[in-house]
Amino acid sequence: MSITPDPKFDEMRQADGSIRPAYRDYVTWLDEQDQSLMRRKNGEAESFFRRTGITFNVYGDEDGEERLIPFDMVPRIITGSEWRRLSRGIEQRVRALNAFMHDLYHRQEIIRSGRVPQRLFSNNVAWLPEMVGFTPPGGVYTHIVGIDLVRTGPNDFMVLEDNARTPSGVSYMLENRETMMAMFPELFSRIPVQPVSDYPARLAKSLAACAPAKTTGKPVVAVLTPGIYNSAYFEHAFLADQMGAELVEGGDLRVVDGRVQMRTTAGYQPIDVLYRRVDDEFLDPLTFNPTSMLGVPGIMDVYRSGGITIANAPGTGIADDKAIYSFMPEIVEFYTGEKPLLPNVPTWRCAEADSLAYVLDNLAELVVKEVHGSGGYGMLIGPTSSKKEIAAFRDKLVAKPDNYIAQPTLALSTVPIFTQAGLAPRHVDLRPFVLVSPDRVDITPGGLTRVALKKGSLVVNSSQGGGTKDSWVLDD
């Protein structure tokens, strides 16, 4: 199988063309396969996804059609020793995030110490005064976390961003593995790959461990979705089904006798843990947006009285803020007493005059992001932008500098994708999924690998033309 060379770090091949240890068994198997059969298999994968209904909506898309997320059948492979190092850094960061959330809504010691400036919260819509002085059941704020990682060398992993509000994509991680096992069952008998299929059971167990004090008997868990028109509705329905939990919308719920209860054929039944996939603003029309039809009137009163657990806790979205991200090295050290095991990508805060001046002078070489942005929207990738695009973005930056951060254009690692002409390298990131309960941090081995399918592209988001891969962590 031929491969187009790429000057950046490739996770499968070394500079001299030899195969790295993680991929040796896979490449041995691949070389034994008939390439016409592999091309047919590649088409079968798309058909499988289409039959399963693994699609997503793109907000603002004029035709409003659901799209198929492209799947590439060449796995992204990580050795067991690499994963153990990564896991230690991920756990350290997630524990620090949870401690930060508690401090932020209580004594704010990190602000008093001068490590993090007050201005990051004073005008931040993600910070909720309603959470001040309240500790969620079990002290857990960030029940489900997605930590986006990028790689630039053999031992060089960095955190690109934190997702502590409502991280998505885990259903694609699970379906990618199921698809690979259906197409190539013999691969998994030859190569020891750590399983991910038990994630829903682990999620259910972790959520149940966070049940509030008013729970009697086995905790009742439900998934709150905005409805079928949400871009991640497939995932909401998938996870509820896999966990054996009820999938509910706001109209299915009401507050009865001081508890949030869901409508059933036998009447209303109390819910102990609500895994919500609805943003804070729409969660409770009596507390937040009064026009919301997606949430439950009065749920925040029940929550603060200890009658329900909301996962993730309201107000955790502030950890997704990219200005907060730039302070994560200080945050990790403040709460753990240790240097971060996983570094941040170097970041310029445009709210600071010196940083803004540097960014404006170097826009053509930098990646500039909105502090509240997500999904690849509202950003500038300088090296691939036209002079006109850069000039227009410069005006935005000058008008609202505190709305942006900037980072260098990293030489992201590449992994091979399958093309009709052979294997070709494409840039990737990795989103491991982390479950937090009062007594443990549980990290699923692997996560979601997102791949930029366009040659040379650094944007991996599905809404921007990216695809996904199965992520293997070897059992070694």
- Stretch 424-431: mean pLDDT, rounded? 94
Helix axes 387-399, 353-361, angle to 10 degrees: 170
pLDDT of residue 3: 38
Compute the C-alpha angle 30/35/41, nearest 5°.
Answer: 85
Instruction: Provide mean pLDDT across the span 378-390.
Output: 88
- Predicted local distance difference test score (pLDDT) of residue 52: 64
pLDDT over 60 (residue 63):
no
Answer for the pair 149, 157: CB distance below 8 angstroms, yes or no: yes
Average pLDDT of the segment spanning 316-338: 95
What is the reported pLDDT for 1?
39
- 272 vs 306: CA distance, rounded Å: 10
Residues 6+ apart with CB under 8 A from 382: 362, 363, 364, 365, 366, 367, 368, 390, 409
In the prediction, which pLDDT does 65 show? 52
pLDDT the model gives residue 124: 86
How confident is residue 411, by pLDDT bands cut at 50, 70 and 90? confident
375 pLDDT tier (thresholds 50, 70, 90): low
Greater pLDDT, 354 or 56: 354
**For 105-164, how does the pLDDT look when each residue is reduced to its tens digit (9 = 90+)?**
999 999 999 999 998 887 788 999 999 999 999 999 999 999 999 999 998 999 999 999
pLDDT at 245: 97
Question: So what's the pLDDT on residue 376?
Answer: 57
Q: Is the pLDDT of residue 58 over 50?
A: no
- Topology (CATH level 3) of domain 348-408: Dna Ligase; domain 1 (3.30.1490)
Higher pLDDT, 71 or 106: 106
pLDDT band at 285 (very low <50, low <70, confident <90, very high): very high
Q: Give the count of beta carbons closer than 10 Å to the beta carbon of residue 285.
A: 19
CA atoms of 210 and 219, how far apart (whole Å) = 9
Residue 346 pLDDT > 90, yes or no?
A: yes
pLDDT at 48: 75
Say if residues 368 and 380 touch (Cβ distance below 8 Å).
Answer: yes
For the chain, give the percent of residues with pLDDT over 90.
74
Contact by Cβ (8 Å): 278, 288: no
User: pLDDT, tens digit, for every residue of 213-228?
Assistant: 999 999 999 999 999 9
pLDDT of residue 62: 44
Q: What is the mean pLDDT of the chain?
A: 91
Per-residue confidence at 242, pLDDT binned at 50, 70, 90? very high
Q: How confident is the model at residue 66 (pLDDT cuts 50, 70, 90)?
A: low
Domain boundaries, the chain: 1-118+145-196+417-476, 348-408
Per residue in 28-50, pLDDT tens? Answer: 999 999 988 888 888 887 777 76
Give pLDDT, residue 215.
Answer: 94
